[in-house]
Chains A and B, each alone.
Chain A
Amino acid sequence: MNRAILRCIPLVIFLATACRGADRPTASPNAEVGGTMIIVQPAEPNSLFPPKVSDSQGLSVVNAIFDRLAEIGPELETNGDAGFTPRLAQSWTWSADSLSIAFALNPKARWHDGAAVRAEDVRYTFAVYTSDTVASDIKSAIPNIDSVSVRDSLTAVVWFKRRLPSQFFEATYNMYILPSHLLAAIPMGALATAPFGRNPIGTGRFRFARWEPNARLEIVADTANARGRAKLDRVLWTFVADPAAATTKLFAGDADFYEAIRPENKEQMRTATQLRLHTVRPLEYGYLQYNLHRRGKPLRHGPPHPVLGDAAVRRALAMAVDRARLARSVFDATGDAALANAPRVLIPDTIAVVPIAYDLAHARALLDSAGWRVNPADSVRVRNGVRLSFEMMAPSSSVPRTTYLALLQDQFKSIGVEAKTLSLDGPSMGTRVMSGDFDAFMNVWGMSPGRLGMPQTWGATGDLNLGGYQSTAFDVRLDSALSAFGTSEARRLWTGAFQQLIDDEPGLVLYEQRKAVAMHVRIQNTPMRPDAWYAGLADWTIDPAQRIPRDRIGLGAPR
């Protein structure tokens, strides 16, 4: 349940959109605006205070209410500012040495309470995101920003420590601009719990309307927005934890959008003519994270793990798993075996990267030659009195991951490895993981465009390098890939970095998912971006010919 750790997000800042046409001044023809869309979602956000929001359900709302300085293009290009479109900033200027960028804010931009947006807001936002007291997950994703200064009331200058291809991305993708006139008076330590997080005021084309905890959250079009009102009147998130109840709601017509249709619902989808199935490929990959060091303290730096510290064991485990078959069992047609430590869309050269093949004979031979001999008494391998046995955890809230546990346990058994499984609630799993008290656990990383979170998850000093993987070879390759300015050079360097991970096997990469999204046919959506399906939400419309009663409610106050 604790998405903070499970889908860890510093790297993952899911984002707002590539709203093409976002800059059109206003009003589309009246027929195009109006309508209510109801999204059914398994969990509610913890907060809507952007620096403390790191789960995708919270970000989909934050993204509608708040703006970033500029928006990444649909190609998710992270080199320089190519493809980025203006958002809260209407233009930007690079300094001659490329170590600072001056953002000129849109002079017409207003907060939802009517106040004008000022450069001070940008400076304040950076201060909040990097404050130790606020402890934002995003802090570690913006290490290259040195400071933000105010040149004049409408110009904010972002200063960088060094020149990198991803500078512009770092300055714009990670931070939603906050209203300093409302927040500056609140001590940093109190921000996370301030009422603002439950009643946010932003600059987005939607504004916040209401949030009934554990039940629903509503946003409505901001009719006074400088970039034009959102085309829908309202978007309502309804929180239903039980997947069966969620699909029931969808099929009964009480909801228009559901992100997690299960393969078993295929038949119902076929007969539900009011629904259409869309496929989204999120930037996520699921894998089994190993602890390469002995459990407990010192965290991630202790002596090698008695079993999993052995690279031969990790490679043998990878060979023992028929990833394609497991993916088919768990996801049917909606999941694939992952190629490397990223979904395929984020691997520049998918042909050059070679995964470890499923080969039981080879796996057994590898373990034999590494000195792990099968003990005939219990069919579990032993070396120097150490049994080839470890414990795997998964959060009980995730059906795919707990299913994977049971399946992996069975596969490992076939090469004489004993894997005990433990499914427990997300937060207590998170506690164990953060204190190094684990052997292995099922994890999903959601990645940010451009693989910019890789140093955090697999680099030697990464604070999300949960298994304590230390490889100078990988770090060198990763750093050169990240600093490469030429595209073809970067492509080659990234292949090297991914291959190094595959060879060292600090985690057993398992799957990437194609999410099946069910949507009502009357909704006309913009393309759903892989890093954030909700990116273009303000430009989604309802087909005027197919409106249903809830589309005619309008923007008036409730009775």
Chain B
Amino acid sequence: MFVAATFAFVLLHFAPGDAYSSIGGGMTDEIRATLRAQRGYDLPLARQYVRWLLALASGDWGWSTSQQRWVSDVIAEAIPRTLVLMSLALCASLALGMGIGAWQGARAERHVAARDTADRAVSVVTLFVYSMPQFWLALALMFCGVRWFGLPSGGAVDDLHDRLSAADRLVDRLRHLLLPWLSLTLAGAALFTRFQRSAMRDAIREPFVRAARAKGSRERDIRFQAWRTALSPVITIAGLFFPALLGGAVFVEIVYAWPGIGSAVLKGVDYRDYDLVAAVVVIGSAMTAAGSFLADLTRELVDPRNRLEHS
């Protein structure tokens, strides 16, 4: 976290100007200097850095020039929306990916992979979806969803959302969520399917499966045991791929104007809103760290062997 923050700082202060050099209009150099002084942009870099770190720690993330309010307010509003989108997509894609992948992987025992048309067909489809650039997949879904299903093309709620009845509000939220969620879920599901499939194929060949079968255990139990073993690498992958998922979410948010941190950061980039961009980089890194921590935790919970090793 700390290093990420430092990195963000260094990065943003290599900038050839600052937010105030781009404010147009009849602004004189003196006024610009005043504004810079207010934000401490005129101090030596080292002091600015310390000032920035201290401020960061105390929750002062600076002033967003693109949104004209405190960065912490911007973040506080955007983060929950991004998390809703990401967590729903993550759950759905994990469920979908693990289901399909496990089904594919389990077939490996009975079929020679090269001749298993069902397995190959599914693999081709997942490879196809996995290979689509995230923003393009989102654009394609938007084009279809808006044109043929009358779904809203952007935003999180309707303009008159708070005038709707409680039931209609829920429907409204779901309608707005559907396309961005689907875009992110499909890409995630393709990813997890691929890993679950190979993890399951490895697990099903492990000695304990043969042993269990020799003992006459029920096929369902064997599959379940194999699946539990295969779970661990998939969860590791989920943790490792968190930054990629976040990157995907950024593109999806931008395409669907979903008011999360992705949309905020793009606007920040256009406005050279360094405080906001730096904050989002730090937050993104924190989310990644949290994601991998969560993945570690989950893995230990599901895999008894891990727990033993660690104790």
Contact = CB atoms under 8 A, between A and B. Distances in A.
Partners in one complex: yes
Nearest to B157: A215
A548 to B, nearest CB: 11
Interface stretch (B92-100, B187-195, B242-250, B257-265): B257-265
A426 B267 CA distance: 11
Contacts of B21: 431, 434-435
Interface in A203-230: 212-216
A254 B159 contact: yes
Nearest to A6: B24
A249 B69 CA distance: 28
A252 B159 CA distance: 13
B77 interface: yes
A241 B160 CA distance: 19
B77 to A, nearest CB: 7
A1 interface: yes
Contact of A249 (B68, B153, B157, B263): B153
A274 to B, nearest CB: 16
23 contacts: A5-B24, A9-B25, A10-B25, A133-B31, A133-B34, A135-B23, A137-B27, A189-B34, A213-B67, A213-B259, A214-B257, A236-B159, A240-B155, A241-B257, A242-B154, A254-B158, A254-B159, A425-B269, A426-B270, A427-B271, A434-B22, A456-B26, A559-B166
B204 to A, nearest CB: 47
A56 to B, nearest CB: 14
A550 B52 CA distance: 47
B69 A431 contact: no
B88 to A, nearest CB: 20
Interface string B12-32: 000011000111111110110
Contacts of A427: 22, 270-272
A197 interface: yes
Interface of A: 1-2, 4-6, 8-10, 36, 38, 46-47, 54, 132-133, 135, 137, 139-140, 189, 192-193, 197-198, 212-216, 236, 238, 240-242, 244-245, 248-249, 252, 254, 397, 425-428, 430-431, 433-435, 456, 463-464, 550, 553, 558-559
A183 B22 CA distance: 27
Contact of B153 (A1, A213, A248): A248
Contact of B68 (A6, A133, A140, A193): A193
The 10 closest A-B pairs by CB, nearest first: A5-B24, A137-B25, A140-B26, A4-B24, A558-B162, A427-B22, A135-B31, A245-B153, A431-B22, A463-B26
B58 interface: no
Interface string B43-78: 000000000000000000001001111000010010
A244 B150 CA distance: 14
A550 B35 contact: no
A132 B30 contact: yes
B165 interface: yes
B90 interface: no
A137 B26 CA distance: 5
A198 to B, nearest CB: 6
B170 interface: no
Contacts of B157: 215
Contacts of B263: 214
A216 B270 contact: no
Chain B: interface size category: 35 or more
A550 B161 CA distance: 11
Contact of A38 (B16, B159, B163, B257): B159
Most buried by A among B22, B156, B269: B22
Contacts of B38: 189
B211 interface: no
Nearest to A40: B159
Nearest to A550: B160
Nearest to A7: B24
Nearest to B146: A248
Given A550-B160, A558-B162, 20 more contacts: A2-B271, A10-B26, A38-B159, A133-B34, A137-B24, A140-B26, A193-B63, A198-B68, A214-B259, A240-B154, A240-B155, A245-B153, A254-B152, A426-B270, A430-B24, A435-B21, A456-B26, A464-B26, A558-B163, A559-B162
Given A1-B270, A38-B159, A428-B272, A245 B22 contact: no
Most buried by B among A47, A132, A430, A550: A430
B160 A215 contact: no
A10 B11 CA distance: 34
Contacts of A38: 159
Contacts, number: 132
Nearest to B273: A427
Nearest to A214: B259
B25 A4 contact: yes
B25 A238 contact: no
A238 B269 CA distance: 22
B153 to A, nearest CB: 4
Contacts of A214: 67, 257, 259, 263-264, 267
Contacts of B22: 2, 5, 427-428, 430-431, 434
A429 B221 CA distance: 65
A431 B34 CA distance: 18
Given A254-B158, A425-B269, A46 B68 contact: yes
Contacts of A140: 25-26
Contacts of A434: 21-22, 24
B159 A216 contact: yes
A9 B21 CA distance: 17
B92 to A, nearest CB: 25
Most buried by A among B31, B69, B162, B163: B163
Contacts of A216: 159
Most buried by A among B21, B34, B270, B272: B270
A456 B27 CA distance: 13
Nearest to A1: B270
B69 A213 contact: yes
A4 B23 contact: yes
Contact of B25 (A5, A189, A193, A397): A5
B280 to A, nearest CB: 14
Contacts of B272: 427-428, 431
A4 B22 CA distance: 9
A352 B92 CA distance: 70
A189 B34 CA distance: 9
A266 B68 CA distance: 37
B271 A1 contact: yes
B150 A252 contact: yes
Contacts of B17: 431, 435
Most buried by A among B23, B28, B263: B23
A135 B37 CA distance: 14
Nearest to B38: A189
A9 B162 CA distance: 35
A215 B259 contact: yes
Interface string B155-192: 11111101111100000000000000000000000000
B216 to A, nearest CB: 61
Given A553-B160, A559-B163, A242 B257 contact: yes
Nearest to B78: A214
B21 to A, nearest CB: 5
Contacts of B159: 38, 216, 236, 238, 254
A553 B269 CA distance: 39
Interface in B262-285: 263-264, 267, 269-272
Nearest to B18: A431
Interface in B112-160: 146, 150, 152-160
Contact of B165 (A9, A213, A215, A559): A559
A397 B270 CA distance: 9
